[in-house]
Structure formats: C-alpha cells, structure tokens
C-alpha cells in the first residue's frame, strides 16, 4: 500500500511487504510527495536488507515453531510450569502460522486487547444445591507477563536462532498499569492457628519457608543440598543464581530430625490412605508410608488455610520473612541478601512498609506539643 495518514499522527505513514517481510513506520514528514519519495527510498533499503538476510541464511519463523523451541530450550527448565499454557494461549490468539517478522505494534495491541478478556478461576460456591465455579478477569500483571513472554521469544529467535526479524515492536508502550498492593504478612496469631490445625510435616515446610525466605520452587530440598557440617543449604534461585543460605538453630533441628525419612528428598509426608493409582499423578501410595512432598501437592494443601481463618498465599510466607527481618534489623541490605534480590530497589519497593512503627514514633515526636503554662505560674516567676 502507498503512504497513508494516521488520525493520531500529523505525519504520513508507510507500510509495505517484500517477499513476506513487512516494513512499516512513520516517515516523519507532513508533505505527501516527500513522504512518497521517502517510501521509495525505504523500499530500496528494504530489498537490500531482505537479500542480505537470505544470503546469511536467516529464514522466516512462525510463532508456533518459535514458542515450541523456546519452551524446549528454556521455558521447560523454569519453576513456573504455567508458562506452557500462556504460550499456547499466545499462539491461539495471534495464530500458529503468524511469522515473527510480521508481528508489529498493531498485532501486539490486538493480542493485549484479546488477552484482557480472559478470566481465571476464582472460587466455588453452592447455588441451588449445585457447585458453581466463579471466575474473575485476569490481572494487568498477568497480561504484562504475557507481553514479556512474547518479547523473550522474539529476542531469543533473533539473537540465538538467526531468525529474520526486521523490526521489534515497542514493548513498553503496550504494558498495562499495575496497581501496587500492600505486602501481606502472616501474623503470629495466624501462625498459631495453623500450628494447631496443620499436619506437622506441612507445618515444618511452612515454618522453614518463613525462616529462610525461599521461594516455593526452592523449598523442596534434596539431601545433597544440605550441609550439616557448615549448617547451610545450597539452592539455585530465580535467574539461575546459586545461593548459600545459613540455617538457624530451629531450621537445623528441623532438617536433622528428618534424616532417614527418605533417601533423596528432605520434606516428606505420610500417606493417609492407600491408592493403587492416585487420581492426580497415577502413582501408587500405601497408607502409613512416606512420600516426597511436591510443589503442586504443597500448593493444594495450603488452600486449606482459609478454613482455619488465614487468607494468604504461599508467597506471603516469603513476604513475612522480609517484613520481620527488616523490622528487627532496620537493615535493607540484609533483607536484600536474605531474599536474593539482585537489585535493592526491588527490596525497597516492597518492604519499606515494615518500618511503619518508626514512622509512627516520628509522627508522635513531631505532633507532641508542650502544655501552655498557666498565668499564675508566670506571675510567680
């Protein structure tokens, strides 16, 4: 197509294809004849670029192929296995045969608009003696993570796979505004409720999470990760970063008494019933025997917290660690190190609310007024 006007811009725009490669953008010109001359020059440059890409062996890559390869090489190694379903949804919205080099800002905008219509399961209620599943819209944070996922796939394709991508979308302008929520800290009273109601095996994992500040994906240790001689554990955290975390006396004793429960896994649970074929993982279980605690099993178990009057997420255990540590130490750097944040700005953004008591004391000092002396006192003096 020839140059055209966009109602939102005073400049003429260009948009054309050469051998299935799409080139588009603003001419930054207000005169139509000058804009057409600019487009002609851009077509010559574009054709030369296409010839160079072909000579270098760069080839068009479909979104489906790129997402599958990204998952195989990188995504499958991450702790969050929900990424696979997000990739599938991304392909469903944008089209499996869509070429990466044709994904422009308009395509990303349409994807974001469609993604915002998606919902997620909220809770189950009983209406007229029937269970009804209520759903709610996904959050702007989830939409932004979908944008980031598409960006990762496209950059990896361009940098690692020699895929032909002429121009990347302007990712930042597509991100939705996220409302920051308060950090949820589990109180001592709530801990006491859970201690009284929970099975000891699961209570140990919860307490261990609060002591160490580990993410859920790092909680389920194997014995080679535990060093009793040095009183430390070794984990590979988010971003592939190796970390050495010291054990407190309580955490040390918690792990020490679990020796012999399982040859490989540290945290285990006792099966409450015999399953010849478990409905979720098809594994056989025998009542009274111990089995490794898993990421998903712990998640399912912690949904029972609400029954005991504690409305919190598993990640709030980590928030509790950060809040309590900052409140006791007044040292943001210590909290950053404990939680494994690469940037102290992240720590400052989320955990400064822990110093609310300091703020209260300062407010009390500045708001205090000395009582006025009576006139009789002044006359005596």
Give the model's pLDDT for residue 374: 60
What percentage of the chain's residues is helix, strand, coil (to nearest 5)? 50, 15, 35
| Backbone phi and psi for residue 191, each to the nearest 5 degrees, phi listed first | -60, -40
- pLDDT tens, residue by residue, 169-199: 999 999 998 877 778 889 999 999 998 888 8
Angle between helices 200-212 and 188-197 (to 10 degrees): 150
| pTM given for the model | 0.64
Once rounded to an integer, what is the mean pLDDT over residues 19-41? 82
339: Cβ contacts below 8 Å, ≥ 6 apart:
213, 318, 321, 322, 347
Separation between Cα atoms, residue 371 and residue 365, nearest integer Å: 14
Residues comprising the chain, all counted: 381
Give the model's pLDDT for residue 259: 93
Q: Please say whether the beta carbons of 201 and 135 come within 8 A.
A: no
- pLDDT tens, residue by residue, 359-372: 777 777 777 666 66
- pLDDT tens, residue by residue, 85-135: 999 999 999 999 888 888 888 899 999 999 999 998 777 777 777 877 788
């Amino acid at each position: 197509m020839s140059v055209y006007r966009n109602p939102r811009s005073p400049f003429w725009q260009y948009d054309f294809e050469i051998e299935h490669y799409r080139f588009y953008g603003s001419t930054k010109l207000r005169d139509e004849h000058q804009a057409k001359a600019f487009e002609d020059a851009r077509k010559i440059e574009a054709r030369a670029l296409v010839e160079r890409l072909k000579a270098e062996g760069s080839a068009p890559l479909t979104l489906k192929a790129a997402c599958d390869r990204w998952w195989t090489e990188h995504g499958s190694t991450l702790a969050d296995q929900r990424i696979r379903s997000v990739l599938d949804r991304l392909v469903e919205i944008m089209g499996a045969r869509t070429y990466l080099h044709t994904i422009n800002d308009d395509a990303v905008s349409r994807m974001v608009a469609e993604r915002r219509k998606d919902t997620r399961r909220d809770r189950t209620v009983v209406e007229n003696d029937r269970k009804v599943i209520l759903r709610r819209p996904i959050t702007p944070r989830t939409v932004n993570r979908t944008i980031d996922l598409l960006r990762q796939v496209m950059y990896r394709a361009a940098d690692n796979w020699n895929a032909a991508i002429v121009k990347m979308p302007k990712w930042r302008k597509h991100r939705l505004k996220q409302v920051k929520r308060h950090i949820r800290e589990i109180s001592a009273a709530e801990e006491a409720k859970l201690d009284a109601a929970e099975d000891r095996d699961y209570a140990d994992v919860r307490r261990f999470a609060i002591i160490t500040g580990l993410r859920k994906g790092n909680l389920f240790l194997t014995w080679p990760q535990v060093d009793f001689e040095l009183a430390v554990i070794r984990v590979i955290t988010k971003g592939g970063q190796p970390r050495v975390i010291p054990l407190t006396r309580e955490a040390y004793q918690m792990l020490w008494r679990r020796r012999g429960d399982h040859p490989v896994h540290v945290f285990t649970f006792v099966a409450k019933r015999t399953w010849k074929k478990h409905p979720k993982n098809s594994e056989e279980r025998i009542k009274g025997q111990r089995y490794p605690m898993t990421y998903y099993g712990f998640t399912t178990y912690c949904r029972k917290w609400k029954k005991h009057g504690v409305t919190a997420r598993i990640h709030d255990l980590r928030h509790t660690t950060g809040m309590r540590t900052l409140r006791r130490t007044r040292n943001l750097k210590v909290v950053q190190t404990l939680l494994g944040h690469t940037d102290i700005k992240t720590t400052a953004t989320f955990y400064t609310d822990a110093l609310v008591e300091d703020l209260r004391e300062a407010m009390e000092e500045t708001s205090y007024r000395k009582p006025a002396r009576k006139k009789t006192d002044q006359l005596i003096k």
